Chain A
């Protein structure tokens, strides 16, 4: 068994360099490194030296709000500052821990241009998902939405998410036709997780790319029909609503299929299913 674990940077590390090697790496590489840092560390690189000062602003924005210290108001202020400071593009924008008071303002920020991954929660369940979320449709690969009404009255005629691979919806109201329209607009979707969503009694899966589906029950039963899913490997359902059914028509690769008992409800459905 290989023994090597990642070594912490020792205080007496013998391999500290004699001279500054890192600053002579090309800017494009330093940008990659900075975009892997939590937001606080990334911003602090601006004060390392003159060479480093402009680099954070020219690396893709990686903003996970949970990495900002302080109370909700402090965090919101920091986010507003960051979004006004960074010219974009953005790689990630994760907001799950925060009550967002100005969703449209934030989503419209130039800093979030070409966003690839989003985790977006509205502060109250009755609030509609802002239309401005569709601004990122062309570039999103991973999307987690929570706590809102999803295009209940203002659904576009079609959705187009050409790069979306993972979709998670939690505590969302979405109408049946809107849900199917959304799924139709995700040509490369691999993972779908619907956690305590409602508004649809019937869900038909017709996808050449979906590998993993999870549903965790809503307020009412739902009929799930797997009409054609040639790549589907995992299908997990945790809602125990007496009126819920699953109909499997065509899923030749399905390996894991189950209702989860109470024992499994402690398992975080999203992490289990969406691990790749």
Chain B
């Protein structure tokens, strides 16, 4: 399933005539010049890439100057895993409340076991150091892959929530550049939130 760097000159395109889901391979080129192949179906999870394909700009490979190879391969892994499950790429924002609901119930596209697999995969994809996580976020934002952006942002939110201000500063190395007066004023603005 992992995307492997491919020789840009080898072509393995196989268009399925007339079908919505073609087996055509799309070449994506990272900022450091590595080429990766992905199915058109997986690549189209990126709205940005989808538009480029539809505009006919994808034939010679798509350069992605903002996305380094390490991150691009993770992004493609995500798209491969989720392409089969996607109803459409414009699912609305993942709702934290939904996470509490019973996931064993059927979705149209995945059995309960497959959903568990996806959840595990997603969790391990974002269990990375901060630098990598933020790079994934930036790539998902640039490529307009909503599910991945939501997933990675939710991971950051999970690391922030229910922690004290001091703890959050420590985890993210955020420097407190307030003056004493400023900081007092901020805390007074919403005193109810600061009963630490």
- A residues whose Cβ falls under 8 Å from a Cβ of B: 1-7, 9, 13, 15-23, 25-26, 28-29, 32-34, 36-41, 43-50, 52-53, 64, 68-70, 74, 77-78, 81-82, 85, 91, 94, 117, 141-142, 271-272, 274-276
User: Residue-by-residue, is B93-133 near A (CB-CB < 8 Å gives 1, otherwise 0)?
Assistant: 10111101111010100000000010011011011111100
Report B110-162 residues with CB < 8 Å from chain A CB: 117, 120-121, 123-124, 126-131, 134, 137-138, 141, 149-150, 153-162
Other A-B pairs beyond A47-B194, A48-B169, 13, CB < 8 Å? A1-B120, A2-B120, A2-B121, A17-B173, A19-B173, A23-B172, A23-B174, A29-B137, A46-B189, A47-B183, A53-B186, A70-B192, A275-B102
Does the CB pair A85–B157 fall under 8 Å? no
> Hey, which chain A residues are within 8 Å of B189, CB to CB?
46, 85
Does the CB pair A15–B129 fall under 8 Å? yes
Q: How distant is the Cα of A68 from the Cα of B192 in the complex, in angstroms? A: 9
> Hey, which chain B residues are within 8 Å of A48, CB to CB?
165, 168-169, 174, 176
> Hey, which chain A residues are within 8 Å of B173, CB to CB?
16-21
**Option from B95, B130, B155 in Cβ contact (under 8 Å) with A22:** B130
Q: How far is the CB of A86 from chain B (nearest CB, A)?
A: 10
Q: How far is the CB of A233 from chain B (nearest CB, A)?
A: 8
> Hey, which chain A residues are within 8 Å of B10, CB to CB?
none
Instruction: Please indicate which of the listed interface residues B150, B158, B186, B193 has the most CB atoms of chain A within 10 Å of its own CB.
Output: B193
> Hey, which chain B residues are within 8 Å of A91, CB to CB?
93
> Hey, which chain A residues are within 8 Å of B170, CB to CB?
16
Give the 3 A-B CB pairs with smallest separation, nearest first: A4-B124, A15-B129, A2-B120
Given A16-B171, A32-B149, A48-B168, CB of A40 within 8 Å of CB of B92: no
Given A41-B163, A271-B102, CB of A20 within 8 Å of CB of B172: yes
Does the CB pair A50–B123 fall under 8 Å? no
**Option from B137, B155, B163, B182 in Cβ contact (under 8 Å) with A25:** B137
Q: How far is the CB of A70 from chain B (nearest CB, A)?
A: 8
User: Residue-by-residue, is B73-101 near A (CB-CB < 8 Å gives 1, otherwise 0)?
Assistant: 00000000000000000001101111011
- B residues whose Cβ falls under 8 Å from a Cβ of A: 92-93, 95-98, 100-103, 105, 107, 117, 120-121, 123-124, 126-131, 134, 137-138, 141, 149-150, 153-165, 168-178, 182-183, 186-187, 189-190, 192-195
Q: How distant is the Cα of A272 from the Cα of B100 in the complex, in angstroms? A: 11
Q: How distant is the Cα of A141 from the Cα of B173 in the complex, in angstroms? A: 37
Q: How far is the CB of A89 from chain B (nearest CB, A)?
A: 13
Does the CB pair A41–B160 fall under 8 Å? yes
> Hey, which chain A residues are within 8 Å of B124, CB to CB?
2, 4
Does the CB pair A81–B134 fall under 8 Å? no
Does the CB pair A81–B192 fall under 8 Å? yes
Does the CB pair A275–B127 fall under 8 Å? no
Does the CB pair B105–A33 fall under 8 Å? no
Does the CB pair B130–A44 fall under 8 Å? no
Given A6-B127, A22-B156, A141-B92, CB of A37 within 8 Å of CB of B161: yes
A-B contacts, 19 listed (Cβ < 8 Å):
A2-B124, A6-B155, A15-B129, A16-B173, A21-B131, A21-B134, A22-B172, A28-B141, A32-B150, A36-B153, A41-B161, A43-B190, A47-B186, A52-B174, A53-B186, A78-B193, A117-B95, A275-B98, A275-B102
Does the CB pair B160–A50 fall under 8 Å? no
